[in-house]
Chains A and B, each alone.
Chain A
Amino acid sequence: MSTLRVAIVDDHAMFRTGVRTELESSADRVEIVAEAEDVDSAVAAIAEQQPDVVLLDVHMPGGGGLEVLRRVPSSAKTTFLALSVSDAAEDVIGIIRAGARGYVTKNISGPELLDALERVAGGDAVFSPRLAGFVLDAFAGTIEIAQVDEDLDRLTEREREVMRLIARGYAYKEVAKELFISIKTVETHVSSVLRKLQLSSRHELTRWANDRRLI
């Protein structure tokens, strides 16, 4: 397996150093090709280095991670993993909707972070229990099925089950075992939820994020 080219974008130098140290202990799997501390330098570094994955802080000078996602051309093959300490639902959902393929909190352990980076680079989505909770909350609700003409606006029963298990703290392979499906199928479900989260125009979704800015 070739090494993963990773860029760290975070305005806290101490945190960048910490992540670098943790990731460098598995130098056969990841290589850190760039670091950036604000939106402008991040956009420049991504354009120059074309990393596989960008570890993107949600809050940063210059408009935050959202601004980086807006300014990086969508044709780029780079994927984004959002990372934050704030847990404000509005920001988390916002950055996922802007194109990040996953969200983890800053107290994630080294091995878990490594897994998450590889998963995102492979085109899959990374859902922490907290994000799964946000998603269930956002898609919960009383919309009658007849009222929904767009499938994007609701989760299938299976997707809901997967989200609930992730919210309960199950890893993907445990979810697979629990539901008697393959890990690949779990990944498909999660990616599909991510797509719905990004594309759904369901007005409850935005309102939900605005109403409950804080979790």
Chain B
Amino acid sequence: MAVRVVFVVATWFNGAGVIAYLLLWRFMALAEPESSPGLESAERRGLRSGSRRRFGPKEILQTIAICAIGAGVLVLLQVTGRGISGSLLLPVLVGLLGVAVVWRQLDDAAWQRWMRQTSGWAFAARAAAGVVMIVLAGLYFFSQERGWSGIVDVASAAGIALVGAALILGPWISKLLGDLAAERRERVRSQERADVAAHLHDSVLQTLALLQKNAGDAAAVATLARRQERDLRSWLYGDEAQHGDSLVAALRLAAAEVEDAHHVPVEVVGVGDAALDPDVSALARAAREAMVNAAKHARVARIDVYAESDGRTAEVFVRDRGVGFDPAAVAEDRLGLKGSIIGRVERHGGTVDVRSAPGEGTEIAMRLPLRTTTDQETST
């Protein structure tokens, strides 16, 4: 807020505030978006290449454009005679340039280290720059005649002197603030460590204990390991489908339940997503039934589930490469396929296509027109 006021005030100086604001807006490093703990840790340890921001030709062009606008405004003001005298303009411009450079670097670790040094050549150079600026300000002040313009002179001289003082005192202030921030970070980190420890205790340790108990039972071990993997993966790398009620979230949940109950891995791939209205949740329940059927009857090592929603239609495919069956020969009283899958989806306005042949596996394709056009398109 205070920063914005400064910009507004600076606008009085030949519109410099507007330009400075635009430049800062362009160059200030943006806050990095938060990532999941696993990815962040991988980045910290250098296991993956971070997403570094680079300046491309577009950014450079933008900057040139902004500077051109600034120059234009400046010239316009000078020509119309509303501007300030050239002797004042130059120092102001230099000062603004300095401020821009400093602010651009605010988040830069190297710069912070440089700023915090209180000995060595860097400190000497900085102190010298500050002193020179203060002396210049004094000279400037005393060489001017008093008068109507005196007020402006005094103000700008004092301003330059302040900048000089800030350059000298800056390191200590910066260090103080830095220490405070470090302390806060440390506290947050220790809280996070406690969270991690609690999570590991509740999940991984328990699973490891169960694994030891069930060491003789290969199927149980595989299921436990897979469940733990799923849990840990979604915790470490996040899982967009976990928050919010959506088709993909419901399918993942169903897949997890089927995996646990029938010891068959179920792989869910989702493209786009749909909100979970009554129709869509019927679709999800039908898909769950299809997964259960595949897990029970197909005798396979893996089930693939693919869901695609484009805002108008939701489609779910449940596929296995198992023993298959002849759809025409299914007895009328087999409730699983007829009632729980086909009937359910058709009641909600969808269609079901069952494709299977003995020995060729089975695929159940379910299509459902979405009632409301949702904003679930993934890229716009």
Query: Which positions in A face B, CB cutoff 8 Å?
Result: 11, 58-64, 66-67, 85-88, 90-91, 94, 129-130, 132-133, 136-138, 140-142, 164, 167-170, 204, 207-208, 210, 212-215
Q: Tell me the residues in window 36-90 of chain B with beta carbons closer than 8 Å to chain A beta carbons.
A: 36, 38-39, 42, 45-49, 51
CA distance A136 to B47 in the complex (A): 27
Residues of A close to B36: CB separation below 8 A: 213-214
Nearest 4 Cβ contacts at the A-B interface: A169-B304, A133-B269, A214-B238, A64-B48
CA distance A74 to B317 in the complex (A): 40
Q: Tell me the residues in window 299-338 of chain B with beta carbons closer than 8 Å to chain A beta carbons.
A: 302, 304, 306, 308, 310, 317, 319, 321
Q: Tell me the residues in window 240-282 of chain B with beta carbons closer than 8 Å to chain A beta carbons.
A: 240, 267, 269-272
Best-surrounded residue of A11, A133, A136, A214 (most CB of chain B within 10 A): A214
Residues of A close to B379: CB separation below 8 A: 137-138, 140-142, 204, 207-208
Residues of B close to A91: CB separation below 8 A: 48
Given known pairs A138-B379, A207-B379, the reply for A88 and B39 (CB within 8 Å) is yes
**B377 to A: closest C-beta gap in Å:** 6
Residues of B close to A11: CB separation below 8 A: 47
Cross-chain contact A140 with B271 (CB below 8 angstroms): yes
**A199 to B: closest C-beta gap in Å:** 17
CA distance A130 to B307 in the complex (A): 12
CA distance A62 to B45 in the complex (A): 8
Given known pairs A140-B377, A214-B240, the reply for A130 and B310 (CB within 8 Å) is no
Residues of A close to B302: CB separation below 8 A: 169
Residues of B close to A169: CB separation below 8 A: 267, 302, 304, 306, 317, 319, 321
CA distance A66 to B239 in the complex (A): 23
CA distance A11 to B237 in the complex (A): 19
Residues of B close to A85: CB separation below 8 A: 233
- Some 18 contacts from A to B, beta carbons below 8 A apart, are A63-B49, A85-B233, A86-B38, A86-B237, A88-B237, A90-B51, A132-B269, A136-B271, A140-B378, A140-B379, A167-B308, A168-B306, A169-B319, A213-B36, A213-B238, A214-B36, A214-B240, A215-B239
CA distance A137 to B378 in the complex (A): 7
Q: How many A-B residue contacts, CB cutoff 8 Å? A: 102
Given known pairs A11-B47, A168-B363, A169-B306, the reply for A86 and B378 (CB within 8 Å) is no
CA distance A206 to B378 in the complex (A): 13
**Is B35 interfacial (CB 8 A cutoff)?**
yes
**B333 to A: closest C-beta gap in Å:** 30
Q: Which of A59, A167, A210 contacts B42 (CB 8 A)?
A: A59
**A134 to B: closest C-beta gap in Å:** 9
Q: A58-B48, A169-B302, A212-B240 given. 14 additional CB < 8 A pairs?
A: A62-B46, A66-B49, A86-B38, A91-B48, A129-B304, A130-B267, A133-B306, A167-B308, A168-B363, A169-B319, A213-B39, A214-B36, A214-B240, A215-B239
Given known pairs A87-B237, A129-B269, A168-B363, the reply for A63 and B48 (CB within 8 Å) is yes
Shortest Cβ distance from A169 into B: residue:
B304
Given known pairs A87-B233, A129-B267, A169-B304, the reply for A140 and B46 (CB within 8 Å) is no
Q: Which of B39, B240, B304, B310 contacts A168 (CB 8 A)?
A: B304
Q: Which of A87, A94, A129, A141 contacts B306 (CB 8 A)?
A: A129
Cross-chain contact B378 with A208 (CB below 8 angstroms): yes
Residues of B close to A170: CB separation below 8 A: 319
Cross-chain contact A64 with B47 (CB below 8 angstroms): yes
CA distance A66 to B36 in the complex (A): 20
Cross-chain contact B377 with A142 (CB below 8 angstroms): yes
CA distance A215 to B238 in the complex (A): 7
**Is B380 interfacial (CB 8 A cutoff)?**
yes
Residues of A close to B49: CB separation below 8 A: 63-64, 66-67, 94
Residues of A close to B46: CB separation below 8 A: 61-64
Residues of B close to A62: CB separation below 8 A: 46
Residues of A close to B238: CB separation below 8 A: 213-214
CA distance A100 to B354 in the complex (A): 37
CA distance A61 to B41 in the complex (A): 12
Cross-chain contact A214 with B237 (CB below 8 angstroms): yes
Cross-chain contact B380 with A141 (CB below 8 angstroms): yes
**B286 to A: closest C-beta gap in Å:** 16
Cross-chain contact A167 with B39 (CB below 8 angstroms): no
Cross-chain contact B45 with A61 (CB below 8 angstroms): yes
Cross-chain contact B237 with A137 (CB below 8 angstroms): no
CA distance A215 to B252 in the complex (A): 12
Residues of B close to A58: CB separation below 8 A: 48
Residues of B close to A208: CB separation below 8 A: 378-379
Residues of A close to B38: CB separation below 8 A: 86
CA distance A61 to B239 in the complex (A): 25
**B204 to A: closest C-beta gap in Å:** 15
CA distance A142 to B267 in the complex (A): 28
CA distance A78 to B310 in the complex (A): 39
CA distance A90 to B50 in the complex (A): 11
Residues of B close to A207: CB separation below 8 A: 379
CA distance A90 to B304 in the complex (A): 23
CA distance A212 to B379 in the complex (A): 10
CA distance A129 to B271 in the complex (A): 11
CA distance A21 to B42 in the complex (A): 27
CA distance A168 to B319 in the complex (A): 7
